[in-house]
């Protein structure tokens, strides 16, 4: 007992001597991966001592929008929120920084594709996505949402996270087969993200829940509906609510009858149809009340026979669909030494 207590005292003393490490961060930008709205994403390498390099993604605010206070607040809020969302199916944010007038986020680099690209490649080949893989992908996102929805702050208070932008563009699949949810840019969370529900409609209308499209307050059940829309699209090959006219799209989300998936895909059986129906229940009191419940039903569907898809299955399928991922990443030329 005395030895243990002595060790504890010694540890406390060392903790009291801890200070702050101050270092300058350097990132070498390699190429622009995407640009849209008010931001851009780059592939980059973080540079460290003794030739250390780490591949990352750098998300920036475009210079023209650095004076847009609302957008800057959302950008900072996203970084602070996702910094504490540590989950295998959520893209990680490592750092929020500022270079000159521009804010940036250093993020986990995903060597893969988003779900929109995944769907488009199947359409290009006129190929149907295997039902089990559709369910597998959505079940992984459901687990990410379960974690985010239940996240609490350091005081034990529920953050009330709602992603509000679940769509194929914001779901990534790594070449290794791991599914990742990204872009919490318009999420809401207590004391971190500005909540303007009721005033501004934010997000992609064709993936919204009825309550979100009606400018009402949302909770985690809204994300479940949106995820159900994505599952429907994966299986049916089309977004059921999409329309070029935004007002028509909003009307579709709230009132358009949703045909059974079998209308578009005969491979969907009654068991899976029941899960989809519950995810897409317009009355949120009848919808899945928890993303974990939806995940469990989706997982039971694909694993009830004793074996189902894994990240290895997903990886092999993705690399056959996108042969470029079978090739080893080519080394990026370094800048000449000065």
DSSP 89: T
The strand pair at 53-61 and 93-99 is best described as unpaired
Please give the positions annotated as active site. Answer: 165
Spatial neighbors of 135 by CB under 8 A, at least 6 apart, are: 231, 272, 298, 301, 302
- β-pair partners for 27: 46
CA 319 to chain centre: 21
Strand order in the sheet with 39-47: 26-36, 39-47, 53-61, 102-108, 93-99
Is residue 155 within 8 A of residue 133, CB to CB? The reply is no
Instruction: Please give the structure tokens belonging to residue 31.
Output: 């190429």
Is residue 227 within 8 A of residue 294, CB to CB? The reply is yes
């Amino acid at each position: 007992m005395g030895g243990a207590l002595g060790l504890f005292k010694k540890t406390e003393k060392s903790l009291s001597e801890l200070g702050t490490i101050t270092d300058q961060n350097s990132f070498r930008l390699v190429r622009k991966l995407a640009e849209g709205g008010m931001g851009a994403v780059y592939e980059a390498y973080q540079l460290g001592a003794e030739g250390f390099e780490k591949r990352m993604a750098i998300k920036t605010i475009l210079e023209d929008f650095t004076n847009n206070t609302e957008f800057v607040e959302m950008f900072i809020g996203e970084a602070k929120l996702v910094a504490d969302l540590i989950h295998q199916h959520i893209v990680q944010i490592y750092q929020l920084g500022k270079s000159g007038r521009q804010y940036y986020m250093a993020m986990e680099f995903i060597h893969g594709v988003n779900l929109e690209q995944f769907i488009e490649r199947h359409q290009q080949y006129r190929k149907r996505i295997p039902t089990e893989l559709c369910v597998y992908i959505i079940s992984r996102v459901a687990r990410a949402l379960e974690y985010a929805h239940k996240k609490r702050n350091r005081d034990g208070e529920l953050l009330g996270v709602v992603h509000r932008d679940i769509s194929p563009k914001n779901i990534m699949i790594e070449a290794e087969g791991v599914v990742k949810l990204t872009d919490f840019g318009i999420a809401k969370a207590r004391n971190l993200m500005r909540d303007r529900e009721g005033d501004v409609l934010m997000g992609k209308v064709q993936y919204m829940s009825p309550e979100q499209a009606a400018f009402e307050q949302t909770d985690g059940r809204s994300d479940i509906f949106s995820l159900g829309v994505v599952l429907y699209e994966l299986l049916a090959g089309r977004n059921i609510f999409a329309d070029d006219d935004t007002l028509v799209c909003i009307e579709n989300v709230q009132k358009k009858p949703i045909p059974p998936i079998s209308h578009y895909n005969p491979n969907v059986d009654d068991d899976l149809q029941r899960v989809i129906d519950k995810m897409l229940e317009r009355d949120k009191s009848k919808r899945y009340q928890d993303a974990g419940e939806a995940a469990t039903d989706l997982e039971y569907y694909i694993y009830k026979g004793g074996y189902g898809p894994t990240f290895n299955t997903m990886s092999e399928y993705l690399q056959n669909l996108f042969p470029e991922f079978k090739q080893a990443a080519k080394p990026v030329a370094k800048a000449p030494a000065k």
